[in-house]
Amino acid sequence: MPAVVSTARRRSGLRISKRALPYVLSLPALLVCIGILVPFFAAVLYSFQRYRLSQPWNRQYNWGENYLNFFTDPGFWNTLRVSLVYAGSTVVLELLLGLGIALLLQKRTRLNNFISIMLLMPLMTAPALAALMWKLMTNPGFGVLSYLASLVGLQDFRWASSPSTALFTVVLVDIWVYTPFIMILLLAGLRSLPTQPFEAAALDGVPRSFVFFRITLPMLMPYILTATLFRLLDSIQQFDIIYAMTQGGPGDTLTVFQVEAYLNFFQSTNVGRSAALLMILWVITYFLSFVFIKNWLRLRERARGEA
Amino acid sequence: MEHTSLIERILRAVALALVVVFFMFPLLWIFLMSFQTNETILSIPPELFFTPTLQNYTALITGKLTSAAGTLDIAFMRNLWNSVFLSVTSVAVSLLLGVPAAYAFARHKFRGSEDIAFTLLSFRFAPPLLVLLPLTLYFQQLGLANTYFGLVWVYQLICLPLILWIVRGYFEDISADVEYAYRIAGHSWFATFRKIALPLAGPGIAAAGLLAFIFAWNNFVFALVLASADKQPVTVGALAFVTASGIQYGQIAAAIVLSIAPTLALALYAQRYLVEGLSLGAVKG
């Protein structure tokens, strides 16, 4: 690519030839990102090394050992399980809740528009700060949620500090932050659906459950898929909420991929294991994003077509 | 929809009220808490009526917390400044790099253009720590550890894909014929870009910039890994706050309010563009 640019420059002096122009325009953005790609390849190498920051003299290639060790490592299976449970439960709950809210707000009334704008506020709150807000709300000393829990008879409900409810608490924060994301995508989808099928169904007196399952849902499917995959991609990598809330604790209750990799790197300084964990997460997200981008493109074509 | 029964309308209203309470209550509670003294906060049951105090905010803004135990320095204003500086600079750099690239991708179908555009998009979905952890080691060698330069560079991972894909969509919406007519009149491509394409895509570029700002501001993990205390933005600073001894709960709440107020204000201002931005240009609001 740089060769193309330089020959083009020579041929026409200072004027950039037509063929080279797009490369010249996109090159700076590319260079900035390529600089960031270098560490990615470093991570690939690290994942094949025995590499502890505390023992630099021991550093050497052990090839697949970091990965093979995972098979007999209960910590790894815990990480995989917690990550999948977290991603699965947040995405399913947010999808159901987001779809429900979008249906409630579907009519373009002034009140509905106002509410849908209000609901954007949690989404625009930094997830790490949202976790801190909920941490204050669930504080056993003065937290309003702890107080409410005690009112309904849960005297010693310990929210994120108890292993049995920690997952529930972070999932709740995730729902608070990200449900509006699904809601606004589906609301935009619902409002862009053509009206004729619904008018025809109303004329024929088709039952509303039939309309919902046979007309609304199928027509909304591209939006639902895009929103779901988008959230799944983010959720399987969740770090901010969990780290800000419990740092992966109590114990290893919430050591999802990125949290576990972070702790491996900075606390046990085991760079090799940390990199191998992230590589596995990367493979998962790569396949998800492949499916996602195909879907997203189709939706994008459609949106551009309507414009 | 016309023949909805009364029961159904009541159920809808109740459901909507519950939704509003669930999503709005935490923000309201933190907001109220930021005007309370420690005594009010710790009272059980929570007091609904209290005399508001500004002492939490004054402590944060002056950076000095005077209590019975002595004076404590709070570096929160420093965090706030870091957030402003990092977000503004990152978005400015991103616009400078991303808008020409977006124009190239929208107007010219050149060899490898789609591949490059998708590579840039895929950065948005890769696990950030995969890049960040090796980067800590590299930055130490390059002398970029804990520098604004290094942070702004890494923040491009958040801002650049967003700007590229949203702005590209806006450029694609402009009819190529308008630009072609201007070119025929004897103007250079740069004049066309500056006089025709940029103004027409202007609102979209502004919206993409605002959104990129919000995402940069809300980012947590980049600065957590790469920045020390003096370069940390509010997201990381507020976390250190919670564990710091001697800080009062009201001040944590006030810090959270100050940290989320800018993004909430911007989001409400730019809400028309949020749908498009959040879906990276796939859905129009």
pLDDT in tens, B242-270: 777 667 788 889 999 999 999 999 888 88
pLDDT of residue A10: 43
A51 in a domain, yes or no?
no
Mutate: best of B22, B48, B50, B129, partner A, most A CBs <10 A:
B129
Of A27, A21, A29, nearest to A2 by C-alpha is A27
Are A10 and A97 members of one domain? no
Q: In whole angstroms, what is the distance from residue B268 CA to residue B274 CA?
A: 9
Are A160 and A247 members of one domain? yes
The minimum CA-CA distance between A115 and chain B, rounded to whole Å, is: 7
Mutate: best of A112, A136, A161, A281, partner B, most B CBs <10 A:
A136
pLDDT tens, residue by residue, A180-217: 999 999 998 898 888 888 888 888 888 888 888 888 88
| Closest Cβ–Cβ partner in B160, B214, B268 for A33 | B160
Are A9 and A94 members of one domain? no
* Rama region for A129: left / alpha / beta (φ>0; ψ in -120 to 50; rest): alpha
Q: Are strands A60-61 and B64-67 parallel, antiparallel or unpaired?
A: unpaired
**Count of CB atoms situated within 10 Å of the CB of B127:** 26
Are residues A30 and B100 in contact, defined by beta-carbon separation less than 8 angstroms? no
Pair of tokens at residue A182: 């699904």
Q: How far is CA B276 from the centre of its chain?
A: 15
Q: Are strands B64-67 and B70-73 parallel, antiparallel or unpaired?
A: antiparallel
- What's the whole-number average pLDDT of chain B? 84
Pair of tokens at residue B167: 């702005």
Q: What is the DSSP string of A232-285?
A: HHHHTT--HHHHHHHTT-STTTT--HHHHHHHHHHTS-BHHHHHHHHHHHHHHH
Helix, strand, or coil here: A213?
helix
Q: Do the Cβ atoms of A304 and B173 come within 8 Å? A: yes
Q: Do the Cβ atoms of A126 and B242 come within 8 Å? A: no
- β-partners of residue A50 are A60
Are A24 and A88 members of one domain? no
Reported ipTM exceeds the 0.95 cut: no
Are A141 and A274 members of one domain? yes
Beta strands in chain A (DSSP E): 49-50, 60-61
| Closest Cβ–Cβ partner in B120, B121, B125 for A285 | B125
Q: In whole angstroms, what is the distance from residue B206 CA to residue B270 CA?
A: 9
CA distances from A182 to A199, A279, B209 (A): 26, 28, 22
Q: In whole angstroms, what is the distance from residue A163 CA to residue A249 CA?
A: 8
Mutate: best of B125, B159, B198, B214, partner A, most A CBs <10 A:
B125
> What type of residue is B90?
S
Instruction: Go through the domains of chain B in sequence order and give each one's CATH number.
Output: 6-73 (no CATH), 76-278 (1.10.3720.10)
Are A121 and A215 members of one domain? yes
pLDDT of residue A41: 87
Q: Do the Cβ atoms of B281 and A300 come within 8 Å? A: yes
Residue with tokens 């965090």: B79
Are residues A269 and A248 in contact, defined by beta-carbon separation less than 8 angstroms? no
A205 in a domain, yes or no?
yes
Q: What is the largest CA-CA distance in chain B?
A: 77
Are A131 and A17 members of one domain? no
Find the angle CA(A194)-CA(A200)-CA(A201) to the nearest 5 degrees.
Answer: 100
pTM to 2 decimal places: 0.88
Kindly state the percentage of chain B with pLDDT values over 90.
25
Sign of CA dihedral A24, A26, A28, A30: negative
Asked if the model's pLDDT at residue A17 lies above 60, the reply is: yes
Q: In whole angstroms, what is the distance from residue B278 CA to residue A65 CA?
A: 40
Confidence class of residue A268 from pLDDT cuts 50, 70 and 90? confident
Closest residue in A to B219 (Cα) is A126
Higher model confidence: residue B271 or residue A132?
A132
Q: In whole angstroms, what is the distance from residue A89 CA to residue B113 CA?
A: 38
A93 in a domain, yes or no?
yes
Burial class of residue A302, CB neighbours in 10 A (0-12, 13-18, 19+): middle
Helix, strand, or coil here: A102?
helix
Are A252 and A152 members of one domain? yes
Q: In whole angstroms, what is the distance from residue B178 CA to residue A276 CA?
A: 52
A263 in a domain, yes or no?
yes
Cα distance from N-terminal residue to C-terminal residue, chain A: 34
pLDDT of residue B87: 95
Query: Residue A158 belongs to a domain with what CATH number?
Result: 1.10.3720.10
Closest residue in A to B21 (Cα) is A119
Are A212 and A132 members of one domain? yes
Closest residue in B to A27 (Cα) is B101
Residue A80 structural domain: 72-306
Pair of tokens at residue A23: 């490369």
Are residues A240 and A128 in contact, defined by beta-carbon separation less than 8 angstroms? yes
Are A142 and A263 members of one domain? yes
Top-ranked range on mean pLDDT: pick from A82-96, A184-198, A204-218, B41-55: A82-96
Q: Do the Cβ atoms of A133 and B107 come within 8 Å? A: no
For residue B25, the number of C-alpha atoms closer than 13 Å in the C-beta half-sphere is 13
Q: Do the Cβ atoms of A185 and B118 come within 8 Å? A: no
> What type of residue is B92?
A
Q: Are strands A49-50 and A60-61 parallel, antiparallel or unpaired?
A: antiparallel
pLDDT of residue A1: 38
Are A208 and A258 members of one domain? yes
